[in-house]
Structure 1
Amino acid sequence: MATMTAPPSDKAEIVDIKYPYKEIVERCSPAGRYIDAQTDVDSPWVPFGPNAAIKHLAFDVRRNLYSNILWVKSPGVIGTHFHRGTITMVCLEGSVRYLEYDWVASPGGLILEVPGESHTLVTEHPEGCKLFGWMEGPIDFYDGDANLVETVDVFWMINHYETHCRDHQMKINPKLYL
C-alpha cells in the first residue's frame, strides 16, 4: 500500500475552483477570518476570577460552540466542572492537569474531554498555564459541596465578553461571531 502524500502544487496563486454553489456560500457564509490572539487588537483578556482570564476567539450560537484561550496566571485551580458537550484544548504554555487523571499536559499537548465527565483543573506551574480550546455545549461549575454555582455556555461567554467591552468602553468585535 502506498503512503499518501499531499498533492503537489506548482502555483503560489489563487486557483479558481469551479464549485457550483460558490455564490450561495459567498452570500450565506460568515466567511473565513483571522483573529489575532497574540495581542488585544481583536479580543482583550477578560478576568475569569482573581487568578484567571479568558481571551474570547469565536462564538457560534447555532451550535453552542465557543473558542477561547484560558490563562491561569499562576498556580491555581479552576473548580470542578461537568461537561455536557465535547471540549478540545491544546496547552500553549505552562502545564496543567486534572485531579481526576494521572497525566500532566505540557505545551503542544492535546486535551480531549467528553460529555458526562467532571474535572477539576489544576496548574502547579510557577507561571500557570494557557490553554487554547473549542468548547461545545454547556459546562456546569460546582462548589466544594457539589452545589451547582453557574452554567456556562456560548451565551454566557458572549455576555462575559460584551459586558467587559462595554464596561471598558471597548468596541465589540463582530469578527468573533460566526
Structure 2
Amino acid sequence: MLYQQVDTAVTDGASLPWVPLVPYADTILLKYFKLDPIKGEWIVMMKAPMGVQLPKHHHTGTVMVYTIEGQWKYKEHDWTAGPDSIVYETAASSHTYEPVSAGASGYVTTLVQVNGELLFLDENENVIASENWKTSLKRYLAYCEQHGIEAKDLTAFN
C-alpha cells in the first residue's frame, strides 16, 4: 500500500460485535476496533460484569485505559478508576483487574489501547497465556465465522 492510499478513517462501533474473551472469561466482552500488525497495537472496548476477575497479567508495552462507566481497580494499587478517568500503564507493569462497581448497563465499560503483549501469569509469576493483536484477530474472526457475521479488516489503515 502506498502512503497516498492511507487516509483518515472512521470505524463504526455499532457495526462491530461484542466478542467474549474466551477462554479466560466468557462474561467479559470485547469490541475490537483496531488490530495493528505493524506497531503491535490493539484498541478495544471492554465490558466486564461484577464478580469477574482475570488472572494477573504483565504488559510488554504501554496501555491506556479510559473508563466510560462503572469503576475498577488493580488489586496491587490503592486507586479506583471511574468514569472519565484515564489510567496510563507503563511497559513491564503487572497487575490484577477487578471491577468495583457496575455502571447503568450492568458492566464496567472501558476503552483500552494496548501496545505489545498482555501476558497472563499464574500464582508463581509464570506466563500461562499470551494475548496480542494476532490472538485478538483470531478470536474476532472465529466469532464472526461462528455467528455468520461478515468480518471487517481491522488490520487495514483505511
The interval holding the TM-score normalised by the smaller chain is: 0.7 to 0.9
Report the CA distance shift for 1:167/1:157 in structure 2 as closer, same or farther (over 3 A). same
Q: Distance in 2 between matches of 1:146 and 1:25?
A: 42
* TM-score normalised to structure 1 length: 0.78
SS at match of 1:107: coil
Partner of residue 19, structure 2: 46
CA distance in 2, matches of 1:50, 1:106: 23
RCO higher in structure (CA 8 A, sep ≥6): 2
Q: For residues 136-165 of structure 1, what are the alpha-carbon distances to aligned partners after superposition, in whole Å with 9 as ceiling and x for unaligned?
A: 001101233433221111111111111111
Name the SS of the counterpart of 1:62 in structure 2: coil
- Equivalent position amino acid for 1:137 in 2: G
For structure 1, the residue ranges without an aligned partner over 5 or more in a row are 1-23
- Structure 1 residue 79 and structure 2 residue 55: aligned? yes
Partner Cα separation in structure 1 for residue 79 and residue 128 of structure 2? 27
Q: How does 1:1-80 map to 2 (within 5 A)?
A: 25-27=3-5, 29=6, 31-37=7-13, 39=14, 41=15, 43-48=16-21, 49-80=25-56
- Asked if structure 2 preserves the Cα contact closer than 8 Å seen for 1:95 and 1:128, the reply is no
Q: Which one of the candidate residues 69, 72, 75 is aligned to 1:99?
A: 75
Q: Are 2:37 and 2:155, in contact at CA under 8 Å, matched by a contact in 1?
A: no
Residues 104-143 of structure 1 aligned to structure 2 (within 5 Å):
104-126=80-102, 127-143=106-122
- For 1:171, the aligned partner's letter is E
Pair 1:26–1:140, CA change in 2 (3 A): same
TM-score (norm 2): 0.87
4+ residue runs over 4 A deviation: none
In terms of fraction of residues, the more strand-rich structure is 2
Report how many residues are paired. 150
1:89 aligned onto 2:65: yes
Q: Tell me the amino acid that sits aligned with residue 126 of structure 2.
A: N
Residue identity matched to 2:120:
F
Identity across the alignment (%): 20
CA distance in 2, matches of 1:33, 1:66: 16
Name the aligned partner's letter for residue 156 of structure 1: T
Residue 26 of structure 1: SS of its match in structure 2? Answer: helix
Report if aligned partners of 1:51, 1:74 keep a CA contact under 8 Å in 2: no
Q: Read off the aligned partner of 2:26 and give its amino acid letter.
A: P
| Matching residue within 114, 127, 138 for 1:159 | 138
One-letter amino acid of the counterpart of residue 26, structure 1: Q
